Chains A and B, each alone.
Chain A
Amino acid sequence: MTVLSQPDVQSGEAALRPPAPRRTRGIRPGSRIAYVYVLPFFLVFAAFSIYPWVATAWVSLHDTRLSTYDQSSWIGLANYRNLFTNDFFWNAFRNTITIGIISTVPQLCMALGIAHLLNYRLRGRTFFRVAILMPYATSLAAATVIFAELFDPNLGLINWGLHVVHLPTVDWQGSRWPSQIAVSAIVTWRWTGYNALIYLAGMQAIDTDLYEAAAMDGAGRWAQFRHVTLPGLRPTILFTIVVSTIGAAQLFGEPLLYHNGLPDGGTQNQYQTLGLLMYQQGWTNDRLGLASATAWTMFLIIVVAVCANLWIARRRGRREGRRASIVAAVPEVTVR
C-alpha cells in the first residue's frame, strides 16, 4: 500500500516542483482532535469489516466447508497452490480483465460526457440528474431479466434488429466475446449514471470564475472542458477509476443473473469472472477455504491493478507538471 501513503508522494513531488501556493493539508498540525473525528468510523469498521476480513484469511488456510465448519483442518497454502494450477481460475482471471476493460473504459468516458452536459444550465435538471440514477435504483434482478430478453439469441430485440438490416445474428449467450459484451453492456448501463453523478458533484466544486475567465479568453466549450473541467476533476476521476477497477475485479451480480442465477458464467465459463468463481466455490460448491483463498488472491490482484492506475496517473501528472495521487490530489485549477 505504499503508493497510497502520503510521505512518499509528497517528497517525490517536493523534489519535482516549487513549493505549492497552497498547502494541501496541515491545518493545526498535530491536532489530537482528528482522532475524535475518525474514531467512530474505525470503531464500527474494526468490528464489522476488519474482523470478517481477518477471519477470511484464516479460513483460506483450512479445508473448510460450511457443512463441516467446526471440523476444518489446517492445510497451509494448499488452497492457493490449488488455485494457481487451476484452469478455472486462470479462465476467470482472463475474463475479469477483458470484461473489466470492455465495461469500465466506455462507462467512465460516457459518464464524464453526461456529467458535463448535466452541468449546463438545463431546464428540468433535477429530473434529469435523478433519472440517470434510475438504473442503479432498478433491482438488478429485474434489469437482468430485461437484458436477457433483449439479448435472447432467438427471440431477442437486438438479434431481430440485426436480422432486419440483413446482418448475421449473434449468439449473445453462448459465444465468448458477444456474451462478454452483453454482460459489459449491463454493467455499463447500471453504473454510468452513478459515476456521472459523482463527476457532477466534483464539477460543482469548480469555481465558476474560472469558466468566466476562460470564456473571456475566448475558450470555446471544448476548450473549457479540457482546460477547466478536466483538471478540476482530476481527484474525482482518479477516485472513480480506482472504485471502478475494484468494482470490475469483484464483478459477480450481472454475470450471475445473466445465466439465470447459475454461477458458471455460461456453459463454457465464457463469462465467469473471479467474483463469480469465488461465489461458485464458496456457495455452490461449498468450498469456503478455496473461495477465501480466491478472495485474498483477488485482493492482491486489485492492489496491483490500483497501484498500476496510480502509477500511470502519477507519471502523466508529472509530465504535465502537476500532482496526481489519490491521497494528495487537490485540484489546482489553471487556465491557460
Chain B
Amino acid sequence: MPRSSTRRHVAALSAVAAIGAFALAGCGNSSSDTSAVSADAGPCGTNDDTTLTVGLFGTFGFKEAGLWDAYKKVCPNITIKEDVVEQSADYWTRLKTRLASGSGLDDVQAIEIGFVADVVQNHADQFVNWNTVPNAAADKAEFYPWKWQLASTSDGKTTVGLGTDIGPEAICYRSDLLKQAGLPSDPTTLAQKWDTWDHFIDFGKQYESSSTKPSGSHFVDSAASVFSTAVYQGQEAYDNSDGQPDVENSDGVKNAWAFASQAAQDGITAGLQQFTPAWNKAFSSGAFAALACPTWMMGYIQGQAGDAYAGKWDVAPVLPGGATNWGGSWLGVPEKAAHKAAAIALVEWLSAKDQQVTMWKDGGHFPSNSQAAADPAVANAKSDYFSNAPVGKIFGDISSQMKIPPIGLYDTQIQQALTTQLTNVETKHTSPDDAFSAALDAIKQVTG
C-alpha cells in the first residue's frame, strides 16, 4: 500500500532486527515490495497475497465489466482496489502532484490522451518502460502502431503505457427528426451525402429550411463538435511534428475553423456547449439531430437519452473529411509502484485481446488492440439501441483508415480555448476573425 510505505519499512526493519529475516518472509500480506522477486514469480508477478491499487478517472468501467472478478480467477492471490477520481482533469492534477513529490502513486495509473504527451515528455523516467519488460515484443505487436507511438518518446525507446481503448469517430443522428424534416434518413444514403464537411453543412441548411422539422431544432449540436473532429483530419492539429504548439500554422486548425465557423454562421448549430446540462438534455429534447460520435459517445447518448429513445438514434458509417480519432487512454505502472511486477502483469492482462473484447461488449470501449478489433465478437457487433447499426464494422473500418496527427502538451487547453470562442460565434455573433484572435490570446496564457 503506497500510502504507508514509509512506516511499513520502519516496521519491517525493526522486525528484521528483532526476530530475524525469517519472520519477514512469513508475513506475506503486510510487506510485499515485489519488484526484487519478480523474475520467477509466475504470471501474476508475485506469489504473495497482494492488493493492487489502480488509479482511474471516472470513465473506465473495468469493475462494471466484471474484469476484476475475472482476474481474481486468473490470479487468486491478487486483490484489486480502484482509486477513482471522477473528472480526468482533477485526476491529472492529483497525478502530477504525486509525480512531483514522488510518493502516493498507485500501482497502476491511467493516462488519458489529453495528457499522455506530458507524461511522455516530462515523466517518462518515472514510469515502467514497456520496451524493456520481459514481454515487450509481444505487447507491442498487439496494438495499432499509432497507439503505441503516442505513448512513446520521439526516439521510440521509451513507452509509458499500454493502450486501453481508442475513439474512432462516425456521425450519430436522430433518424426520426430527419424523417420528420422530410430528409433521407437511412445510413447508406447519408454516408454518401455526408462525405465532406461542405456537403454535411449543405445538408444541415436543408434541415434548417425544412418547414416540418420540430421548431427550435437544429441540425448539429455545436460548432465545437465540427471543429474538434475536423481539426484532427489535418497533417497537424495543434502541434508540429516535434510536439510543440503551433496553432497558427496548422492546416488542421485552419480548415476546421473555417468549417465550424461556417456551420455557426449558417445557423445549423444548436449553440450548446458540449458536456453541459443543456447539451445532455438535448439528446432527448431534439434540440439537435446529429453530432460527431466517437465510439464512447454511443454509451453517453444512451445514458442521457434513456431507453425511450432506443431506435430513434442511428449511426452513419461516415465521417465527413476522413477517418480520425477522439479520445482513448493507456495504463502505466510507476517505477515507484509498491508492487511493480504484479502491476505489470495486470496491465498486460488488461491489454490482451480477450479483455479488450470484453470491454467493447460490456463497456462500449473500442479496442486499441488490433487483434481484438478484428475479433468477430467486435467486428460483427450491432447496436440494438442505435437502430441495429453494425457498429463493429462501422468503427472497425474507420479505425483501420485513421490519420493521427502529432499531439502535444497543451492540446486540451488549446481545444477548449478555440471551441469556447466558437460558442461566441454561434451565440453572440462574434466575427470568426475576432473570435480566433481571442482564442489565440487565451492560448498564449497556457503556452506562456
Q: Which residues on A are within 8 Å of B, measured CB to CB?
A: 63, 66-70, 86-88, 145, 148-149, 152, 154-155, 174, 260-262, 264, 267-268, 280-281, 283-287, 290
The answer to whether the Cβ of B6 comes within 8 Å of any Cβ in the partner chain is: no
Query: A261 — nearest CB in chain B belongs to which residue?
Result: B87
Contact B122–A68 (Cβ < 8 Å): yes
7 contacts between A and B (CB under 8 A): A66-B96, A69-B100, A155-B278, A174-B428, A260-B276, A267-B427, A285-B446
Contact B100–A88 (Cβ < 8 Å): no
Contact A67–B428 (Cβ < 8 Å): no
On chain A, the residues within 8 Å of B118 by CB distance are 67
Rounded to whole Å, the gap between the CB of B157 and the closest CB of chain A is 20
Contact B427–A174 (Cβ < 8 Å): yes
Rounded to whole Å, the gap between the CB of A97 and the closest CB of chain B is 21
Q: Which of B169-177, B305-313, B415-423 faces chain A?
A: B415-423
- Which of A69, A88, A154 sits near B445, CB closer than 8 Å? A88
Query: A268 — nearest CB in chain B belongs to which residue?
Result: B424
On chain A, the residues within 8 Å of B420 by CB distance are 262, 264, 267
Contact B448–A287 (Cβ < 8 Å): yes
Rounded to whole Å, the gap between the CB of B48 and the closest CB of chain A is 34
The answer to whether the Cβ of B5 comes within 8 Å of any Cβ in the partner chain is: no
On chain A, the residues within 8 Å of B281 by CB distance are 155
Contact A260–B277 (Cβ < 8 Å): yes
Contact B428–A287 (Cβ < 8 Å): no
Contact A260–B448 (Cβ < 8 Å): no
Contact A154–B278 (Cβ < 8 Å): yes
What 8 pairs across the A-B complex have the smallest Cβ distances? A69-B100, A285-B446, A67-B122, A66-B96, A260-B276, A267-B423, A267-B424, A267-B420
The answer to whether the Cβ of B22 comes within 8 Å of any Cβ in the partner chain is: no
Contact A267–B277 (Cβ < 8 Å): no
Contact B275–A87 (Cβ < 8 Å): no
On chain B, the residues within 8 Å of A69 by CB distance are 100
On chain B, the residues within 8 Å of A86 by CB distance are 445
Contact B421–A281 (Cβ < 8 Å): no
Query: A89 — nearest CB in chain B belongs to which residue?
Result: B445
Contact B97–A66 (Cβ < 8 Å): yes
The answer to whether the Cβ of B441 comes within 8 Å of any Cβ in the partner chain is: yes
List B residues 409-448 near A (Cβ within 8 Å): 409-410, 413, 416, 420-421, 423-424, 427-428, 438, 441-442, 445-446, 448
On chain A, the residues within 8 Å of B87 by CB distance are 261
- Contact indicator per residue, chain B 162-206, by CB within 8 Å of chain A (1) or not (0): 000000000000000000000000000000000000000000000
- Contact indicator per residue, chain B 92-104, by CB within 8 Å of chain A (1) or not (0): 0100110110000
- Contact indicator per residue, chain B 276-317, by CB within 8 Å of chain A (1) or not (0): 111001000000000000000000000000000000000000
On chain A, the residues within 8 Å of B445 by CB distance are 86, 88, 280-281, 285, 287
The answer to whether the Cβ of B89 comes within 8 Å of any Cβ in the partner chain is: yes
- Interface size in chain B (residues, C-beta < 8 A): 32
Query: A68 — nearest CB in chain B belongs to which residue?
Result: B122
On chain A, the residues within 8 Å of B278 by CB distance are 152, 154-155
> How far is A53 from B96 in the complex, measured between Cα atoms in Å?
20
Query: A266 — nearest CB in chain B belongs to which residue?
Result: B420
> How far is A70 from B125 in the complex, measured between Cα atoms in Å?
14
Contact B413–A70 (Cβ < 8 Å): no
On chain A, the residues within 8 Å of B235 by CB distance are none
Contact B100–A262 (Cβ < 8 Å): no
Q: Which residues on B are within 8 Å of A, measured CB to CB?
A: 87, 89, 93, 96-97, 99-100, 118, 122-123, 273, 275-278, 281, 409-410, 413, 416, 420-421, 423-424, 427-428, 438, 441-442, 445-446, 448
Task: Select the residue from B96, B281, B413, B445 with max chain A CB neighbours within 10 A.
Answer: B445
Query: B118 — nearest CB in chain A belongs to which residue?
Result: A67
Rounded to whole Å, the gap between the CB of B277 and the closest CB of chain A is 6
On chain A, the residues within 8 Å of B421 by CB distance are 267
Contact A67–B413 (Cβ < 8 Å): no
Contact B96–A67 (Cβ < 8 Å): yes
Contact A262–B416 (Cβ < 8 Å): yes
On chain A, the residues within 8 Å of B277 by CB distance are 145, 148-149, 152, 260
Query: B424 — nearest CB in chain A belongs to which residue?
Result: A267
Rounded to whole Å, the gap between the CB of B433 and the closest CB of chain A is 16
> How far is A50 from B96 in the complex, measured between Cα atoms in Å?
23
Given contacts A174-B427, A268-B424, contact A70 B100 (CB under 8 A): yes
On chain B, the residues within 8 Å of A286 by CB distance are 96, 446
Rounded to whole Å, the gap between the CB of B410 and the closest CB of chain A is 8
Query: B409 — nearest CB in chain A belongs to which residue?
Result: A67
Contact B448–A267 (Cβ < 8 Å): no
Contact B427–A63 (Cβ < 8 Å): no
Rounded to whole Å, the gap between the CB of A120 and the closest CB of chain B is 41
Contact A267–B428 (Cβ < 8 Å): yes
Query: B416 — nearest CB in chain A belongs to which residue?
Result: A262
Contact A284–B413 (Cβ < 8 Å): yes
> How far is A191 from B93 in the complex, measured between Cα atoms in Å?
29
> How far is A154 from B271 in the complex, measured between Cα atoms in Å?
12
Query: B216 — nearest CB in chain A belongs to which residue?
Result: A154
- Which of A70, A145, A284 sits near B89, CB closer than 8 Å? A284
On chain A, the residues within 8 Å of B446 by CB distance are 284-287
On chain B, the residues within 8 Å of A261 by CB distance are 87
Rounded to whole Å, the gap between the CB of A283 and the closest CB of chain B is 6
Rounded to whole Å, the gap between the CB of B108 and the closest CB of chain A is 20
Rounded to whole Å, the gap between the CB of B118 and the closest CB of chain A is 5
Query: B87 — nearest CB in chain A belongs to which residue?
Result: A261
Contact A87–B273 (Cβ < 8 Å): no
> How far is A268 from B421 in the complex, measured between Cα atoms in Å?
8
Contact A66–B100 (Cβ < 8 Å): yes
On chain A, the residues within 8 Å of B275 by CB distance are 260
On chain A, the residues within 8 Å of B427 by CB distance are 174, 267
Contact A87–B441 (Cβ < 8 Å): yes
Rounded to whole Å, the gap between the CB of B91 and the closest CB of chain A is 12
On chain A, the residues within 8 Å of B416 by CB distance are 262, 264
Rounded to whole Å, the gap between the CB of B166 and the closest CB of chain A is 24
> How far is A74 from B36 in the complex, measured between Cα atoms in Å?
40
> How far is A328 from B448 in the complex, measured between Cα atoms in Å?
47
> How far is A262 from B277 in the complex, measured between Cα atoms in Å?
13
Interface contacts beyond A88-B445, A145-B277, A283-B89: sample of 16 additional A-B pairs, CB < 8 Å, sorted by A = A67-B118, A67-B122, A67-B123, A70-B100, A86-B445, A87-B441, A152-B277, A154-B278, A261-B87, A262-B420, A267-B421, A267-B428, A268-B428, A285-B413, A286-B446, A287-B448
Query: A171 — nearest CB in chain B belongs to which residue?
Result: B427
Query: A148 — nearest CB in chain B belongs to which residue?
Result: B277
Rounded to whole Å, the gap between the CB of A75 and the closest CB of chain B is 11
> How far is A87 from B437 in the complex, measured between Cα atoms in Å?
13
Query: A287 — nearest CB in chain B belongs to which residue?
Result: B448
On chain A, the residues within 8 Å of B97 by CB distance are 66
Query: A153 — nearest CB in chain B belongs to which residue?
Result: B278
On chain B, the residues within 8 Å of A290 by CB distance are 448
Task: Select the residue from B100, B424, B441, B442 with max chain A CB neighbours within 10 A.
Answer: B100
Query: A82 — nearest CB in chain B belongs to which residue?
Result: B448
Rounded to whole Å, the gap between the CB of A259 and the closest CB of chain B is 9
On chain B, the residues within 8 Å of A68 by CB distance are 122
